[in-house]
């Protein structure tokens, strides 16, 4: 276990407080109308909260307990806000895929997300199985609301990543953003257990670094992805190789050229998994485009959910697919099938990828090479930036 993670596990977090969370993320919040969205495999389960009887729907149960009941039992009054209604929509089936319009309220009444939610609420909280940040960002711009997405919610996230003051998170993210902005490129060296080494270079071309910092202040439409805490770029190109641990545990070596993954080779595991990935890349090449490079900025415990674990200082991640919500140009319309237009994070962290290590991650900025990470540890350059 890394020193950063050990520190996180020893750190004492304040108890989850819905009023503190919402008041720090959304300012102003007084007088605003708030609602909650969840996804359900069968919308009939929304009526009278029947989903609470299904033990597999843990995310939705926590949304009900900590957010719906939290708002109803005092948080709305404390915030000076109104609303508190909950709506359910069918699962999208993938990260950041288009949201359906159909939804129901907790009485089982058919509703429309566009007509009954986006156009009538000021703040939308989406607590779901799959991330909805990209589609909600587009709807926020269209309808003028603010919001937060919190997919994969669990107890660890509630009591650490959502139990912080996001003004503090934002300050740290800005310190690291300033230390990395306008980099020319970032290179990441990997060592697979067994000895094979590989490197991928992400071309950044001096772009302004962005931050996911959790604050949606003011009246401008915006969506926070919580827990927040990262600095990220939209790569302009990429070359090289990097390892990928697939969901079934198979380990592959990915070849990147022209800014996208063009092929996978088996290192260990199931060849059929590699073959399926190669078939998808051949059928819809946009699925291999690298649309994000991100670095965690917070000291947090491992939650088992990438939405928090990619925010841990000392980790980094890539993402394939759509990046329009990050300021990129990859939209769902560019994919052969809209069902392929996901934004899928590839997290490099010791608990997630124990079969390989980050030997070093470094950047070139103003022609000077700075070491950012070694063996999942933030190096002096990043530590000094945080201490400034």
Please calculate the CA angle 299-305-309 and round it to the nearest 5 degrees: 25
pLDDT score of 319 more than 60:
yes
Q: What is the pLDDT of residues 136-173, one digit of tens each?
A: 999 999 999 999 999 999 999 999 999 999 999 999 99
Q: What is the mean pLDDT of the chain?
A: 95
CA distance 186 to 56: 41
CB 211 within 8 A of CB 173: yes
Give me the pLDDT at residue 11, please: 55
Tokens matching residue 331:
């939209």
pLDDT score of 12 more than 80:
no
Cβ-based neighbour number of residue 253 at 10 Å: 18
Alpha-carbon Rg for the chain, nearest whole angstrom, is 21
Give me the pLDDT at residue 67, please: 98
pLDDT score of 8 more than 50:
no
pLDDT score of 26 more than 90:
yes
CA distance 216 to 28: 9
Of the pLDDT bands very low, low, confident and very high (cuts 50, 70, 90), residue 2 is very low
CB 140 within 8 A of CB 147: yes
Q: What is the pLDDT of residues 47-86, one digit of tens each?
A: 999 999 999 999 999 999 999 999 999 999 999 999 999 9
Nearest alpha-carbon partner for 166 in 213, 222, 224: 213
DSSP-assigned letter for residue 289: B
Task: Kindly report, as residue ranges, where domains of CATH 3.40.50 are found in the chain.
Answer: 17-158
Tokens matching residue 315:
């980790």
Considering only residues 262 and 13, tell me which one the structure prediction assigns the higher pLDDT: 262
Locate tokens 């080494």: which residue?
A: 197
Q: Note the helical H segments in the chain.
A: 3-10, 18-25, 58-62, 69-70, 76-79, 133-143, 155-158, 166-180, 271-283, 306-309, 380-387
End-to-end Cα, the chain, rounded Å: 27
Is 17-158 a domain of CATH 3.40.50?
A: yes
CB 293 within 8 A of CB 321: no
Q: What is the pLDDT of residues 168-203, one digit of tens each?
A: 999 999 999 999 999 999 999 999 988 899 999 999
Q: What HEC string does 60-82 produce?
A: HHHHHHHHHHHHHHHHHHHHCCE
CB 143 within 8 A of CB 49: no
Give me the pLDDT at residue 249, please: 95
pLDDT score of 121 more than 90:
yes
Give me the pLDDT at residue 206, please: 98
Locate tokens 């230390």: which residue?
A: 179
Of the pLDDT bands very low, low, confident and very high (cuts 50, 70, 90), residue 9 is very low
Of the pLDDT bands very low, low, confident and very high (cuts 50, 70, 90), residue 252 is very high
Could you tell me which residues are beta bridge partners of residue 149?
126, 225
CA distance 211 to 170: 8
């Amino acid at each position: 276990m890394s020193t950063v993670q050990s520190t996180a596990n020893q750190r004492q977090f304040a108890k989850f407080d819905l009023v503190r969370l919402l008041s720090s993320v959304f300012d102003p919040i007084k007088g605003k109308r708030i609602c909650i969205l969840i996804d359900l495999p069968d919308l009939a389960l929304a009526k009278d909260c029947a989903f609470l009887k299904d033990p597999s729907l843990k995310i939705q149960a926590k949304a009900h307990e900590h957010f719906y009941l939290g708002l109803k039992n005092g948080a709305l009054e404390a915030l000076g806000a109104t609303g508190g209604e909950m709506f359910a929509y069918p699962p999208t089936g993938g990260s950041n895929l288009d949201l359906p319009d159909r939804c129901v309220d907790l009485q089982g009444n058919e509703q429309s997300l566009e007509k009954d939610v986006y156009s009538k609420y000021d703040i939308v909280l989406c607590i779901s199985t799959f991330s909805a940040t990209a589609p909600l960002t587009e709807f926020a711009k269209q309808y003028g609301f603010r919001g937060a997405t919190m997919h994969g919610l669990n107890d660890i996230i509630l009591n650490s990543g959502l139990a912080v003051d996001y003004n503090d998170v934002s300050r740290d993210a800005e310190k690291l953003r300033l230390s990395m902005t306008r980099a020319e490129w970032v290179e990441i060296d990997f060592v697979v257990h067994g000895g094979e080494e590989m490197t991928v270079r992400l071309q950044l071309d001096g772009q302004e670094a962005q931050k996911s910092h959790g604050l949606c202040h003011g009246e401008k439409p915006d969506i926070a992805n919580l827990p927040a805490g990262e600095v990220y770029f939209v790569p302009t190109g990429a070359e090289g190789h990097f390892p990928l641990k697939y969901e079934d545990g198979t380990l592959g070596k990915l070849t990147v050229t022209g800014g996208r993954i063009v092929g996978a080779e088996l290192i260990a595991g199931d060849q059929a998994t590699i073959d399926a990935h190669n078939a998808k890349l051949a059928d819809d090449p946009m699925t291999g485009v690298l649309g994000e490079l991100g670095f965690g900025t917070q000291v947090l415990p491992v939650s088992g959910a990438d939405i928090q674990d990619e925010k841990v200082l000392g980790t980094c991640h890539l993402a394939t697919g759509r990046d329009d919500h990050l300021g990129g140009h990859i939209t769902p319309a560019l994919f052969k099938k809209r069902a392929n237009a996901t934004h899928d994070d590839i997290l490099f962290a010791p608990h997630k990828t124990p079969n390989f290590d980050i030997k070093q991650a470094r950047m070139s900025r103003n022609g000077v090479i700075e070491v950012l990470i070694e063996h999942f540890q933030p190096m002096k350059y990043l530590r000094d930036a945080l201490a400034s």
